[in-house]
Amino acid sequence: MSKHRCGLNYLLAASAVALGAPAVHADPVLEEVVVTAQKREENSQKTTISLEVMGALELEERGIASVADLGNTTPGLRLVPFSQSPNTLNIYIRGVGAADSQVTEDSPVGVYLNGVYIARPVGLGSNVVGLDRIEVLRGPQGTLYGRNTTGGAVNLITAKPTDAFGGSQLVGFGNYGAVRMGEMLNVPITDTFYARASLDWDRRDGWVKNTGAGRDFSAYDRVAGRVDLRWKPTDAFTADYSYDQSHDNYTATYYQIASVNPTYSFLGQQPNRVKKAALPQPLQGSQALSGGHTLTLALQTGIGEFKSISAYRFLRAHQYMDFSGNDVLSIFVSDPVNTTQHQISQEVQLVGSTDSKMFDYVAGVYYFKERATVHDRDVAFSAFASFSDVTAINTSYAAYGQLTARPAAESPWSLAMGVRYSKDKRQAKFIANKPDLSMHETQFSNTSPSVSLNYQYSDDLLLYAKATLGYKAGGFNFREGNFDTPFGPEKILTYEAGWKSEWMDHRLRLNNAFFWSNYKDIQLDVNIPGNPDPAATFTKNAGKARVYGIETELNYAATEALRLQLSYAYLYNRFLAVENEDPAQFHLVAAPRNTVAATVDYDIAQLPYGLLNTTVDYSYRSSSLTEPSIRQFHGGYVDHYNVTDWRMSLTGDDWIWRNTKNRVSLWVRNLFDVEYMTSPSGAFECLHAYNLATWGTPRTYGIDFKVSF
């Protein structure tokens, strides 16, 4: 730890000494950050939500192109790749998440692309082109976002077409044969009609060499594109249409036998990250295709903005995963897991304020329906095969409203009250080794209120206290082998108090949030002890837990050349009761006690060809679990680790031709090549491994060049 911290100082100092003194600048100031976390554009410092926001430039400089890249950047957020596919993400915020990926149950962290809910975690590892910003909202967002946001929400917002002609070209190369190319073109077709097209190609060889048959492990070849059209015939009306699609070809992560079951000691074990490996059977590739259409209509009226968001999205995935962890004996192979999914959604919103400025309001209705199928075939010891075919139809309706009232237009006090009513219906059909052709059905309804008392002490200091109820719908667990026993909804009631502040003439930004949550009817996916099938789990509304913590964000423009960021999250959780179990043996999954993210951004010097800048990002996570029962298995424990990234960029104008902006960057991720586990599992202890684990990506490095016009 101390060695790495010193490394950051040496790196920055060496850069400054070698390349000259920084340029002279004006007085520094932090830029205003605009978000739409509460359905309207507003300064993030006026938003009573604990959130993390990254804009287009920061996303590009950090190499963030998808939800998967957020893992080490946001305290309180934890991403765990699903065991069968590194392209499928299980997302946790404040320790609330789902350990499994099934079409008959949902994640408690909602992911939204331009306001459209993405129902399935399959494909979340794909690149999203044209990102303008990402907003990570911590805590229940039930009133404005609805069911399945008990943990929080992730908003992906892409750039819209403009009336200015422009474009960009990105070319990058890195180790492990990495190549990335990205293009963007914005064209004003008429005075009122604009178009924008973006394309991104990203490929890399695997970082674990496959000495057997097939491609290397953790290789990928990804293509993503989108087309955006905007029609703005008047200042009062805007129509936005978009189509996006991503196509990923990849190979699975190599699962190592970190701790072997003594019965299979002849297979050996690999307690440290390996560079090469082989499997008894040829490693097959996996594919994922996802995309969708979105039409957003916005009309400004005398009572506010009416907005309609209509969307259709689709998903097709073919996943192959071998959990053998050796080159001698085939143990357990998922071959294949095929998923198809289609969803439609319609939302109508009204967002406005009264002429007196004493009341702000948001109201809306929402409809969602999806149909999904999964074919899952598992083979044990190359001889024993089991399969399941699942069809799921999920339907949801909701109506919501939020009113913010002030005693007077200029009053510093405001009271925000909201409520959302949701009704959900799940239908599912299960065909396995013993066919069950009947369609099972279960329904749920919920009313989720929220209230927030806010005090704007000054233009630079906002104090708030709020209470929010979150709701996650129930469903079925097809890994139980039947749909006879659906599980019910889970709920979380969160009390939160905090402040958002700026000091020193907007050079220093300090935000804090303190929260206390009562989490009940928790949907626990538990592996069945003694069952040799590692995929066999059952879900029950097991009990309740108490969760509390602190989230702190500090941004400081020390000088015009030096910017510092520090984020910290403390998270404590304790199960108070678990049905027929000792609650002391349970713990929330992916809930490290301490997480830290820090950034040093320094403009080294103004050179003849442009500004030379260096950036160091550091993140730390304390230990956590990947399975809810502490002593259920030998595995499932992630030790504490830290990761450091470094980047140096030269940015200037007119390098190639006039009226262009140019940037060349050298970058290194996981600078000190730290070895850390990402998803260890004890679910295979009745077979060959007490702990079967994957490791995080080793050091990668490369160079990028971008020209914008």
pLDDT confidence of residue 432: 65
**What is the average per-residue pLDDT within 554-572?**
96
Q: Looking at the predicted structure, is the pLDDT value of residue 11 above 60?
A: no
Q: Is 58 exposed, middle or buried (0-12, 13-18, 19+ CB in 10 A)?
A: middle
Under a CB-based contact definition with an 8 Å cutoff, are residues 374 and 338 in contact?
yes
Q: How confident is the model at residue 632 (pLDDT cuts 50, 70, 90)?
A: low
Burial 467-479 (b: 16+ CB within 10 A, else e): bbbbbbbbbbbbb
Give the β-pairing of 42-43 and 237-250.
unpaired
Under a CB-based contact definition with an 8 Å cutoff, are residues 286 and 86 in contact?
no
Structure-block tokens of residue 63: 């190499």
Q: Looking at the predicted structure, is the pLDDT value of residue 704 above 60?
A: yes
Distance CA 98, CA 26 (A): 48
Q: Can you list the domains of the chain with their CATH numbers? A: 2-708 (2.40.170.20)
Point out the least confidently predicted range of 29-43, 57-71, 190-204, 593-607: 57-71
Q: Looking at the predicted structure, is the pLDDT value of residue 20 above 50?
A: no
Q: How confident is the model at residue 274 (pLDDT cuts 50, 70, 90)?
A: very high
Q: Is 484 exposed, middle or buried (0-12, 13-18, 19+ CB in 10 A)?
A: exposed
Largest CA distance in the chain: 78
pLDDT confidence of residue 514: 98
pLDDT tens string 473-501? 999 988 776 777 889 999 999 999 999 99
Concatenated DSSP letters of 651-673: EEE-SSSTT-EEEEEEEEESTT-
Angle at the Cα of 227 from the Cα atoms of 33 and 708, rounded to 5 degrees: 60
The residue among 122 and 270 whose pLDDT is bigger is: 270
pLDDT confidence of residue 568: 97
Tally of residues, the chain: 709
Question: If residue 232 lies in a helix (H) or strand (E), which one and from where to where?
Answer: strand 220-234
Q: Looking at the predicted structure, is the pLDDT value of residue 620 above 80?
A: yes
